[in-house]
Amino acid sequence: MNRSELIEKLVSKNDISNALAGRVLDTLIETIQIAVKKGDSVTLVGFGTFKSAKRAARTGKNPSTGASLKIPAGTVPKFTAGSKFKAVVDPKAAARKAAKAAAK
């Protein structure tokens, strides 16, 4: 699903205009990006958490030449899926997890 298909889904489910749905989606994405850039995390219960993570400097390898190269430290965005989102994507895994918890 791409951006325009997502906007179409918002329009059909909420009876709003394409322009309004586009602005709402843009505002949501921008708000998440700004919060994560500041170092805050954004938690949408059941869906997941957006946050930033520090990545240490490391040595990599150029795949075409095989030469070693230094990859500098940096900050990267990270998304962790929530339990409800995981259950929707893989119901069998959610059932196994629930059965394991019930067995304890």
Domain ranges in the chain are 1-40, 41-104
Interval 42-49 mean pLDDT: 96
What is the reported pTM?
0.79
CATH number for the segment(s) 41-104: 4.10.520.10
Interval 9-37 mean pLDDT: 96
| CA gap 100, 20 in Å, rounded | 45
pLDDT tens-digit readout, 49-87 = 999 999 999 999 999 999 999 999 999 999 999 989 999
Residue that is written with structure tokens 């009876």 in the block: 15
**What is residue 98's predicted lDDT score, i.e. its pLDDT?**
82
The whole-angstrom distance between residue 61's C-alpha and the CA centroid of its chain comes to 28
| CA gap 52, 24 in Å, rounded | 23
Residue that is written with structure tokens 């895994």 in the block: 93
Residue that is written with structure tokens 């997890």 in the block: 97
